Amino acid sequence: MEQNDKANSYRKLLNRLQEDSWELELLISGFAIFGLFYALDPIAHKMQVAQFDNNNVFVFILVIIHFSVQILIFNLLLHVLLRGLWIGSLGMRYVFGEIDFDKLNYGEQFTSYLKRKVGSFDDYIRKLENICSIIFAISFLLVFYIFSFFIIGFILIGLNSEAPDWMIVILRIVSTLFAFGVLLTFFDFVTQGLLKKNKWTAKIYFPFYWTFSILTLSFLYRPLVYNLLDNKHGRRISFVLIPFYILIYIVFHLGFQKSNFITPASTKVSNSKVANGSNYEDEIEKNKNIFIGEFAIQSKVITQPFLKIMVPLNDRIEDSLVAFNPNLKPSTDKRGLFFKSQISFVRNQIDYDGFCNAYLNAFEKMYTFKIDSIAYITQFAISNVNNELGFESYIGIQDLSEGKHIIEFLSSKYNDTDTLVSIRKVPFWYYKN
């Protein structure tokens, strides 16, 4: 008896909270929209940094996060808009009461049609209330879906990472089964439980379902999902929102072309006729969304008697140096993701100096700079600016004539230092002080 009283009192509490939940919904939506709008630019910037670093894992993750934030903003704005309409409808109901179709004095055909299609004003308010609550719930379900996606993604990355030879076969088998389970789970999610409805597919799918419900922590939000799916309005709204998500993706990727001949895509890299900002340090410093290209000089207009050259380090350059000098090849490739620790282990200074010398010698033999087709001797040092690694050097240009010049970055072939391949040409203008 006491247990039933507690259950009844708890139901009354839930009913009361349910009636007042719209205030909390609006409050949470407002704060969330404000925070999400401010998160868009930092996420886009991090994505560009990951692209610059050739970190495909982070690029993929950040693309998903960026698109998910856009979807959440759309959902919450739609929720605030509809909830505002609901509040306005309540106010109109208080002032004007129900809709009196007879007072409109329409013809019988229109009156009967409107009574059938529009219905009572109370029903309209109730439908708005249901739609608002469903959209709010779906918005935060997306957060859990994204979180689950990251867990799956990191597990797949871990299964496909480097491992000892004896573990490769085992990891491949586990990775294949895991990928198959991901596809089954995604198919079941998109079809809203189709694999659970057939007796035989349910038996095959159940072990995968049980495993992924633990791995993705879906047991935390599963009641919300099934409460949504067992209602026809919830299913309909879920399907109706999908085209809007596709529309969001299209809108955020629309552009405007100003010319039939010159386009942003054709000017993304510098050459003898194009001066892209990614090859000039002063342009990069002014705009945080511009990243250094294959190399950079200090400015388009040079007034000093020297050129500063900065070449960023990337996987392609390091692979070419190892191919040029096989003695540089490490026993294990340590590039990629790592755990940042406060403790760092530094090798013996003598060994490190010897390694740096061999590394720089390989770079100087492998890569060459020419100004107006004349090769210049370059002496590079390893550079570290704001944790961005690269190679830095200076070339004296006091003997150059004033006006436009072309600096060219070239690479030798691994086994033939006499054959040079052009990587990038960048124009600059030299005027003496």
Helix (H) or strand (E) holding 310: strand 306-312
- Which pLDDT does position 300 carry in this prediction? 92
CA atoms within 13 A on the CB side of 289: 5
pLDDT at position 315 is: 82
Q: Is residue 306 a contact partner of residue 397, using CB atoms and an 8 Å limit?
A: yes
pTM of the model: 0.65
Res 349 pLDDT > 60: no
% of the chain with per-residue pLDDT over 90: 9
Residue with more model confidence, 430 or 414: 430
When comparing pLDDT for 134 and 343, which is higher? 134
Compute the distance between CA of residue 257 and CA of residue 254 in angstroms, rounded to an integer.
10
pLDDT given for residue 4 in this prediction: 57
Pairing of strands 416-430, 403-413: antiparallel
202-228 tens-digit pLDDT = 888 888 788 777 777 777 777 777 777
| Buried/exposed code over 157-192 (b: 16+ C-beta within 10 A; e: otherwise) | eebeeeeeeeeeeebeeeeeebeebbebbeebbeee
Residue 74 near residue 142, CB atoms below 8 Å: no
Close Cβ partners of 68 (under 8 Å, ≥ 6 residues apart): 142, 146
pLDDT of residue 59: 78
What tokens were used for 51? 């692209």
* Letter string b/e over residues 6-18, b meaning 16 or more CB atoms within 10 A of that residue's CB: eeeeeeeeeeeee
| Arithmetic mean of pLDDT, 41-46 | 83
Cα(275)–Cα(300) distance, integer angstroms: 8
Rounded-to-integer distance, Cα 302 and Cα 399, Å:
13
297 by DSSP, 3-state: which? strand
**Which of 13-22, 187-196, 272-281 comes out lowest in average pLDDT?**
13-22
Structure tokens that stand for 147 in this block? 């979180």
Nearest to 85, CA basis, from 35, 119, 127: 127
What topology is assigned to 275-330+348-430 in CATH? Immunoglobulin-like (2.60.40)
Q: Where are the domains of the chain?
A: 2-161+221-252, 275-330+348-430
Q: How many CB atoms lie within 10 A of CB 315?
A: 13
* Angle (CA) 58 63 68, round 5°: 125
Question: What pLDDT, on a 0 to 100 scale, did the predictor assign at position 428?
Answer: 94
Residue 11 pLDDT > 70, yes or no? no
pLDDT given at position 330: 78
Q: Sign of the C-alpha dihedral, residues 346, 350, 352, 353?
A: positive
Mean predicted lDDT score pLDDT of the chain? 78
Q: What is the pLDDT of residue 301?
A: 93
